[in-house]
Amino acid sequence: GDSVTQMEGPVTLSEEAFLTINCTYTATGYPSLFWYVQYPGEGLQLLLKATKADDKGSNKGFEATYRKETTSFHLEKGSVQVSDSAVYFCALRKGAAGGTSYGKLTFGQGTILTVHP
């Protein structure tokens, strides 16, 4: 079945450090890929997405590129801030064959990021 694997956390960085959170996936067909962010006590918010190979999603200084050859969607940010402290989830989503859509999201286990001043 489909699966998503994220790098183990927690990740602790100083402000303005470079961030990479690795994400790899296993899926048949053509999934769309997403990064969601969850702040303490809240639901998930979409951070960025990419729907086909070589697409780059970007938002709020975060970037991730859909690499079909390595089945990866690593999240990067050049200079993190204290306000980026949260849990980050990588996820994939695809429709079913035959024209019937079922958009189940498959999530990785989440990576806790803590940024210190």
Taking residues 1 to 40 in sequence order and writing x for each that binds other proteins by CB under 8 A, - otherwise, the string is: ----------------------------xxxx-x-x----
Name which of 17 and 95 has its Cβ closer to other proteins.
Answer: 95
Q: Is 103 exposed, middle or buried (0-12, 13-18, 19+ CB in 10 A)?
A: exposed
CB 24 → other proteins: shortest distance, Å?
14
Which C-beta is closer to other proteins: that of 17 or that of 93? 93
Residues pairing with 24 in the sheet: 5, 72
Q: Does 89 bind other proteins (CB under 8 A)?
A: yes
Residue given tokens 């961030």 in the structure block: 19
User: Out of 11, 23, 44, 80, which residue is the one contacting other proteins (CB under 8 A)?
Assistant: 44
The CB-of-79 to other proteins minimum distance in angstroms stands at 26
Strands 62-65 and 56-59: antiparallel
Q: Where are the beta strands (DSSP E) in the chain?
A: 3-6, 11-14, 19-21, 23-26, 32-38, 44-50, 56-59, 62-65, 75-77, 86-93, 105-107, 111-116
Residue 14 C-beta: closest distance to other proteins, Å: 25
Using DSSP's 3-state secondary structure scheme, residue 62 falls into strand
> Contact residues for other proteins (CB under 8 A)?
29-32, 34, 36, 41-46, 49, 51-52, 89, 93-97, 99-105, 107-110
